[in-house]
Structure 1
Amino acid sequence: MPTNPPEKPDVLSAEFAQDPHKYYKIMRDHYPVLHDEASGYYFVARYNDVARIYKDSVAFSNENYAFQMEPVIGKTLIQMSGREHAVNRHLVTPALRGNYLQELLPQVDELAREMIDEFRHSGRTDLIENFTKWFPINVIVKMLDLPHEDLPKFHDWYSSLMAFLANLTNDPEVHAWGMRTQRDYPAYILPIIAERRKNPGTDLISRLTQAEIEGEQFSDEQIKALIGLLLIAGGETTDKAIASTLKYLIQHPEQLAAVRANPALATQALVETLRYHPPVQIILRTATEDIDVSGTVIPKGSVVACVNGAANRDERRFNDPDKFDIFREDVNMNQAFVGSADHIAFALGRHFCVGSLLAKREAETAINQLLQAMPDIRFADGKEPVDAGMFTRGPERLDVEFTPVTQ
């Protein structure tokens, strides 16, 4: 005898925010394309559907970034298509995947050591407030050769941009915060870009002012927007990826012990986290035509929310998907950081995250150095961390205890 399907989840409810994976399964099984009346968005939950949307840049465009990000930082690479996207991606790729990245790596290692030295003898710390929240921004600031004392500004700007991007309910305070960034961020960064163009050094801003392809160079406005994108894509998301990986390793002591014994497994731990609980839970696209997805016709012009967090736990694609397993065999480690990845955390296809290799290296460094500094790391007071966030998600705090290593 057929049973009635569960009630359609309310994606904007407090219950959904508290435990989205509970509702992701209901969506996959009963509402693979869920239309949310409040936002007007179509939430897509199954792996094959989400992968199809990312790979089909004709039927599903990035036009949504015109209202998600452009009002705050300008038009960025992830909003572009066609030749404009190809040229801009080609200009920036060498800085994030080429020799410059290799030159940067020793500095990434040193930054991690310096930050960990601040608390390695304390026996207790909140790893988010004292490490993961600031480590990726520190790396970006080093890349851009900007003043370290301005870190709080950068954090405020990328936090406002992230909130603006995820503002489904059009909260006026979030909008006002974004508009302050629209004013303050260009006033800060444009004079720096202009000066580096006149007197270039070896930093990323200088390299971007000199980059050229087919006679085209980045304008100051384009570099401003790109740096803004770098702040959001390289800041909060890497922060949450590192924090979540540490959280799940602590929850799985055998796997934590394996990573500690073989530091090369830190990469597998990161990749499994990207699948199990991606830092970017939702990425938007726009339907350019009326199109059928799993039996639901999404009208032309509609905003489509690709739910990475749901797709990555799809039983149709992964074995035992609700199990955190760094040794799983249905994710190819060799392609985990390119556009043909098995997991969906950086999107897929031509808009796959260009900074994925930088994020990978930051996370490997952070995980291995933290585990070395804290051999018996554990949650403080027996309390496990609580996740928060809708578009991006990760632990709010990561309070840990450990026995200080004497040297």
Structure 2
Amino acid sequence: MPLAIPPFSVLSDAFDAAPERFFAHLRERVPVHYEPTIDGYFLSRHQDVKRVLTDQEAFTTEMLQVRAEPVMRGRVLAQMTGAEHTAKRKIVVRAFTGSALQDQIRAIRANAAELIAPFLPQGRIDLVGDFGKPFAVHVALDVLGLDRADWQQVARWHSGVAEFVTGLALTPERRRHCLDCAERLEAHLAPVIRQRRRRPGRDLISKLCTAEFDGITMSDRDVTALIINVLVAAAEPADKTIALLFKHLIDHPEQMAQVRRDPELLAAAIAETLRLTPPVQLIPRQTAQDAVFAGTTVPAGATVFCMIGAANRDPDAFADPDSFDIHRADLGTARSFTAAAQHLAFGNGLHQCVGAAFARAEIETVAAMLLPLLDEVRYSPGFRYRETGLYTRGPASLSLDFTPVRGSGTRRD
């Protein structure tokens, strides 16, 4: 009797261990992959993913009412359209551009210097656990104007919120835990919002509380949802991308040397990291009517998951797509952090990531600081690399050795 071959599943342990091994198979053989246990359709071709992300009328964000709103404690930007979306997006964008962005870059440098300093004399660091995760939360709290003394508690609540949004098969117990985290985070934010309405400052929460566009202002519920939205969006990609950038450069020492010699190449290295290993791997949408992809009909009302990782490795969009190449001609570094980006790491269309410019500034600032300090950087002896996550994905840890730095941490004897 022939052995039964189990059906392929993106929810399997094999896919979780190395999803990139399956991307080509999905794009070529099953560009519309259906997962019956979660009643969802997974799209892997670049042209299909871009179509879904850019046609907001045919592919809506209605599923976020169930997937995000319960833990965001209100509607988020991705759920909005028309005048409301335009007005509230402008409010958030203004907080990440111009003089506000320059203030944030100073805060980014200060946070990075403070967190890296204890490890410089040791010559060893876990770039995820020791640096990336606390750094991402610290910066998000600074942007919002929240007290960093509570960062570990806020990080735990944020983790529960993120788990709810990104979890595809939560148990009832985990669902209750995530909702409890969201309720506690909302209660933590309520007095802050009241205080900023009375005495606004220069932080993002104050701007959300006081801003008005075309007569549109924000309720406390609106402000709460956007604070949590920004906290998740700002913290989730940063730690993963910083670690992935160093991994790729360590794995390609000739390109590491080129970036060290020519700092202008750093932006290209970040853009290529985002293309090859995007921290956000799935973006969900809901079909407003029947939609046909590669001859397969996806029914109206269905949830489709855009597989960003697979789309970004589509040979119809990028030459030699599985290779890390900071010099690739089809990436376009200048447009890689804009709506014209060829890669889809920040999404696309109306709901493209509002913080793309901030993400670029944050990652570039940190990488430019760390590269000179982490001289002769390499994997620690015995370290075994492993990535985790289906919805968002990044290194579980990244233990690195480097030449220890003596004195102030800014010079090497």
- Calculate the TM-score normalised by the size of structure 2: 0.95
Q: For residue 394 of structure 1, what is the amino acid of its counterpart?
A: G
Q: 1:126-165: per-residue Cα shift (whole Å, max 9, x none)?
A: 1111111111211111122221121112211221122111
Q: Compute the displacement of 1:223 (Å).
A: 1.0
Q: Compute the displacement of 1:86 (Å).
A: 1.5
8 A contact 1:132–1:242 mirrored in 2:
yes
Quick one: distance in 1 between partners of 2:115 and 2:258? Answer: 25
Quick one: distance in 2 between partners of 1:132 and 1:170? Answer: 26
Quick one: distance in 2 between partners of 1:288 and 1:379? Answer: 48
RMSD: 1.4
8 A contact 1:112–1:365 mirrored in 2:
no
8 A contact 1:8–1:31 mirrored in 2:
no
Aligned position for 1:315: 315
Q: For residue 329 of structure 2, what is the amino acid of its counterpart?
A: E
Q: Compute the displacement of 1:358 (Å).
A: 1.0
Aligned position for 2:71: 72
Q: For residue 14 of structure 2, what is the amino acid of its counterpart?
A: E
Q: Compute the displacement of 1:384 (Å).
A: 4.4
Aligned position for 1:59: 58
Q: Compute the displacement of 1:405 (Å).
A: 2.5
Q: For residue 271 of structure 1, what is the amino acid of its counterpart?
A: A
Aligned position for 2:242: 242
Any residues of structure 2 matched to 1:25-36 within 5 Å, and which? 25-36=24-35
Any residues of structure 2 matched to 1:115-130 within 5 Å, and which? 115-130=115-130
Any residues of structure 2 matched to 1:289-304 within 5 Å, and which? 289-304=289-304
Q: 1:333-366: per-residue Cα shift (whole Å, max 9, x none)?
A: 1111111210010100111101011111111112
Quick one: distance in 1 between partners of 2:349 and 2:120? Answer: 41
Quick one: distance in 1 between partners of 2:299 and 2:336? Answer: 33
Aligned position for 2:18: 19
8 A contact 1:111–1:135 mirrored in 2:
yes
Q: For residue 365 of structure 2, what is the amino acid of its counterpart?
A: T
8 A contact 2:161–2:182 mirrored in 1:
no
Any residues of structure 2 matched to 1:186-225 within 5 Å, and which? 186-225=186-225
8 A contact 2:105–2:365 mirrored in 1:
no
Q: For residue 134 of structure 2, what is the amino acid of its counterpart?
A: W
Q: Compute the displacement of 1:385 (Å).
A: 1.8
Determine helix, strand or coil for the equivalent of 2:257. helix
Q: Compute the displacement of 1:332 (Å).
A: 1.1
8 A contact 1:260–1:368 mirrored in 2:
no
8 A contact 1:380–1:400 mirrored in 2:
yes
8 A contact 1:141–1:148 mirrored in 2:
yes
Any residues of structure 2 matched to 1:6-405 within 5 Å, and which? 9-73=8-72, 74-381=74-381, 383-405=383-405
Quick one: distance in 2 between partners of 1:349 and 1:97? Answer: 20
Using the aligned pairs only, state the percent identity.
39
Determine helix, strand or coil for the equivalent of 2:167. coil
Q: Compute the displacement of 1:182 (Å).
A: 2.7
Structure 1 range deviating more: 360-369 or 97-106: 97-106
Quick one: distance in 2 between partners of 1:267 and 1:382? Answer: 31
Q: Which runs of 5+ in 1 are unaligned?
A: 1-5
Quick one: distance in 1 between partners of 2:94 and 2:62? Answer: 26
Quick one: distance in 2 between partners of 1:197 and 1:98? Answer: 23
Aligned position for 1:3: none
Quick one: distance in 2 between partners of 1:78 and 1:201? Answer: 27
Q: Compute the displacement of 1:72 (Å).
A: 0.8
1:23–1:8 CA distance, 2 compared to 1 (3 A): farther
Quick one: distance in 2 between partners of 1:170 and 1:302? Answer: 19
Q: For residue 49 of structure 2, what is the amino acid of its counterpart?
A: V
Determine helix, strand or coil for the equivalent of 1:118. helix
Q: Displaced runs of 4+ in structure 1, greater than 6 A? A: none
Q: Compute the displacement of 1:251 (Å).
A: 0.8
8 A contact 2:108–2:366 mirrored in 1:
no
